[in-house]
Amino acid sequence: MNILILTQCFPPDVGGIENMMGSMALALQESGHTVTVLADGKADAADPKRPFRITRFSGWKPLRRWRKARAAEKLTRKGAFDQIIADTWKSVENLGTVAVPITVLAHGMEFPATPSPRKAERIRAAMAKAADVIANSSFTAGLAAPYVKAERLRVVTPTVPAQADADPERVQALRTLHGDGLQIMTLCRLEPRKGVDKLIEAVAKLGPAYPGLKLHVAGDGADRARLETLAREAGVADAVIFHGRVSEDEKAALLQLADVFAMPARREGNSVEGFGLVYLEAAWHGVPSLAGRDGGASDAVLDGETGLLCDGADGASVTAALDRLLGDRALRERLGENAARHAREQTWQRKIKDFAVRDGEAAAPRIIQLLPALGDGGVERSAVEMAGHLGTLGVANWIASAGGPLVAAAEAAGARHVTIPVGKKSPFAAVSAARAIARLVDAEGIDIIHARSRVPAWVGLLARRLAKRPVHFVTTFHGVYSHGNALKRFYNSAMLRAPLVIANSQFIRRHITEVYGFPESRVVVAPRGVEPALFDPASISAKTRAALRAELGATADGPLVVMVGRVTRWKGHAVLLEAAARLARPDLCLAFVGGGSEALVAELQRDSARLGLEGRLHFTGSRRDVPALLAAADLAVSASTDPEAFGRAAIEAQAMGTPVIATNHGGSLETVLPGETGWLVPPGDVAALAAALEDALSNPERLAAMGENGRRHVLANFTTRQMLEKEFSVYEKLLTGPRS
């Protein structure tokens, strides 16, 4: 495929857009496309060495834009190009009619908050030439939305090039020069909206609490003199180091030195951060970020996962967030580990196909998932994982729910979340939700409705009838629903009114065919999976494990047993307590990880006191560091008294090299290999569970070997990619059949 890139911004000029356009051209060329670049600026000595052809246009801005547009028209008239990619709408404004599909990138700053009528019309006319508009964040998509139809607008967050390792000697030299205090780094063009002034004020306030605290300011710009004056007047001139423009090697060394990367950007007039690629560059080095909430930074920094967000315009908010990061080493380490993993998922190798669109290629399907809410459960996480998979494939996708704590994660993964209460059982609410879904199907050209529970399935079925366009329907059967009478089976039947049904285990497949008589050939099994990079024991340091064990009351030699799952009666927490009490192991500690009923938690705490386990049982509540908790444990238990539809907790533990004791029914029969990766015991059998606990803990060497077996077992059979590819194969089968 031959691709023509039109850009105002290109290396050797320095900046986020410049870096993106340069690395995109290289990635397209390396992935097998033939790339030609028409760029603003004077010829660069490096141009002849680039693996693609590049022509530069210099001189008076209006004239060079006109010349570049004429050159593009001439090239496309020869029929040599299949696609044009423009860095912004400004690069196609002067372009006449061409018989080549145009992709326009949107970054944020090119869309004024309050444009004049003339400016708005210029933008609208330029954007009308685009067959496809790619925004770098959800925020930027909102800015572009008034100028382009929704079906031509999508979000693909920027990639980060692989970052060079820092020179250890240079890092040590910087450490020697600047001391052993905490180090903050910022890297940006020095202008007011970047928030460096608020960082200087924060350093002045926090300095007494953090001796040796330093702020490293890399970059240059018109605001430097004001910032240097501010540092002097605040009495922190020695603590704020202005490095000016730095080389890539120096940038890597400074990031390796830094404990926190901070750029609390804010809106200044029409100027706002569209994304902030530098946050991903810092993340690559395992450095957590502090970012402002304005603009698209929330797509670059996942609040509470890879960094923290604050109000960049409010000095107190900046100071408080920075204080929280500086004062909590465990928090910095957790956020830094997450950031490094996240950054390595944002590479051109994974995203380049989102930018190269073949003319005449069948349009990618547009998919909406329906579920009651985005809480922190297995069904919800499966929906978010699918959103991420669809995003990497360049598939526009939506999630409709009542909202919840995973909304931010869903949107960061690439989904557009719409707040529609599709899970309300009221018939009036269901009809209202179905109408809203039908309108969305028609407005966005959605091809597939994927329902993940019963009320959303009824809503989806009604929406199909109300929508003006035909749309496919599929469901995922995530559990064993109550089916004791005809009315309940009819209620459940919404999940089976689809040509294909996804089951999350062989156990659920058998349940569907045996209870409802549904044809086995129409059930596709897609077992749940884990993300190997996230559930990787090698990524959890010994220091982190020791800190978590100490937090949970475990000694260096005493066994720590964890149970991960919502605190409900059928999960078997009480059975584990009774079994643990039978062991002559006074150093045994238990951790129950997950939220749930406060009344049941109180009851279990009373039971632990009655059984002599007081002080050895810890309720952690819902946690984001489950992989680390599992890595810190000696053993995991899944004691469910009712069958697990699948039992994600068992594969997560095995992925972290932690053997499992599970009950021998439901999905656990498929995920735990007795004698190889763990033990299976009868449900509700206290004596059997106690015996398995004693057997497991009596031989640490065997336990370690079983942990290694468990990780190999999970990587071979239960990864997120395997699950998502099987689910996506269902979408592909639907698209080849009738929309019935």
Last residue of a domain, one of 155, 187, 212: 155
Residue 58 neighbours by CB distance under 10 Å: 13
Last residue of a domain, one of 110, 127, 155: 155
Pull the structure tokens for residue 250: 């120096």
**148 and 180 part of one domain:** no
CA dist., res. 678 & res. 561, Å (int): 13
Last residue of a domain, one of 314, 344, 374: 344
pTM: 0.51
Reply yes or no on whether the pLDDT at 363 is more than 60.
Answer: no
More confident residue, 396 or 315: 315
> Is residue 740 included in any domain, yes or no?
no
pLDDT confidence band for 358 (50 / 70 / 90): very low
Task: Convert the pLDDT of each residue in 49-79 to its tens digit.
Answer: 999 999 999 999 999 999 999 999 988 877 6
The alpha carbon of 530 is separated from its chain's Cα centroid by a whole number of angstroms, namely 14
**128 and 11 part of one domain:** yes
**187 and 309 part of one domain:** yes
CA dist., res. 446 & res. 389, Å (int): 17
**182 and 145 part of one domain:** no
CA dist., res. 322 & res. 597, Å (int): 34
Quick one: average pLDDT of 167-182? Answer: 94
Domain total in the chain: 4
**372 and 323 part of one domain:** no
Task: Convert the pLDDT of each residue in 546-598 to its tens digit.
Answer: 999 999 999 888 999 999 998 999 999 999 999 999 999 999 999 999 988 89
> Is residue 316 included in any domain, yes or no?
yes
740 contacts 499 by C-beta, under 8 angstroms: yes
Give the model's pLDDT for residue 148: 87
CA dist., res. 82 & res. 101, Å (int): 7
- Phi/psi at 456 (nearest 5 deg)? -60, -30
Exposure on the CB side of residue 287, measured as CA atoms within 13 A: 29
Q: Which of 14-23, 263-272, 453-462 has the highest mean predicted lDDT (pLDDT)?
A: 453-462
Reply yes or no on whether the pLDDT at 359 is more than 60.
Answer: no
**569 and 512 part of one domain:** no
Lookup result for tokens 């632990």: 608
**30 and 59 part of one domain:** yes
**507 and 626 part of one domain:** no
Q: Which amino acid is at 727?
A: E
**675 and 731 part of one domain:** no
Q: Give the 3-state secondary structure of residue 370.
A: strand
Average the pLDDT over each of 19-33, 322-336, 351-365, 557-571 and give the range with the smallest value: 351-365
> Is residue 163 included in any domain, yes or no?
no
Q: Which of 118-132, 327-341, 359-373 has the highest mean predicted lDDT (pLDDT)?
A: 327-341
Reply yes or no on whether the pLDDT at 362 is more than 50.
Answer: no
Pull the structure tokens for residue 40: 């603003």
pLDDT confidence band for 1 (50 / 70 / 90): confident
Give the model's pLDDT for residue 459: 97
Q: In what order do the strands lie in the sheet with 214-218?
A: 240-244, 214-218, 183-187, 260-263, 289-292, 307-310
Contacts of 619 (CB under 8 A, 6+ apart): 567, 592, 601, 604, 605
pLDDT confidence band for 360 (50 / 70 / 90): very low
Q: What is the DSSP letter of 151?
A: G
Q: Give the 3-state secondary structure of residue 295.
A: coil
> Is residue 666 included in any domain, yes or no?
yes
90: closest CA among 114, 109, 77, 76? 109
Average the pLDDT over each of 217-221, 420-424, 525-529 and give the range with the smallest value: 525-529
Task: Convert the pLDDT of each residue in 213-223 to its tens digit.
Answer: 999 999 999 99
Task: Convert the pLDDT of each residue in 260-278 to its tens digit.
Answer: 999 999 988 777 787 888 9
Average pLDDT along the chain: 91
297: closest CA among 284, 113, 306? 306
**200 and 290 part of one domain:** yes
Quick one: average pLDDT of 596-602? Answer: 91
**633 and 589 part of one domain:** yes
Average the pLDDT over each of 81-90, 141-150, 259-268, 647-656 and give the range with the smallest value: 141-150
More confident residue, 353 or 383: 383
> Is residue 76 included in any domain, yes or no?
yes
CA dist., res. 124 & res. 490, Å (int): 51
> Is residue 113 included in any domain, yes or no?
yes
Domain CATH code at residue 319: 3.40.50.2000
Share of the chain above pLDDT 70, in %: 98
Lookup result for tokens 């600047």: 178
Q: Cis peptide leading into 12, omega within 30 of 0? A: yes
Give the model's pLDDT for residue 357: 58
Share of the chain above pLDDT 90, in %: 70
Reply yes or no on whether the pLDDT at 152 is more than 60.
Answer: yes
Reply yes or no on whether the pLDDT at 240 is more than 60.
Answer: yes
CA dist., res. 574 & res. 600, Å (int): 10
> Is residue 684 included in any domain, yes or no?
yes
Torsion sign (Cα): 162, 165, 170, 176: positive
341: closest CA among 308, 310, 309, 305? 305
Quick one: average pLDDT of 178-184? Answer: 96
> Is residue 160 included in any domain, yes or no?
no
**708 and 577 part of one domain:** yes
Give the model's pLDDT for residue 132: 87
Domain carrying residue 145: 2-155
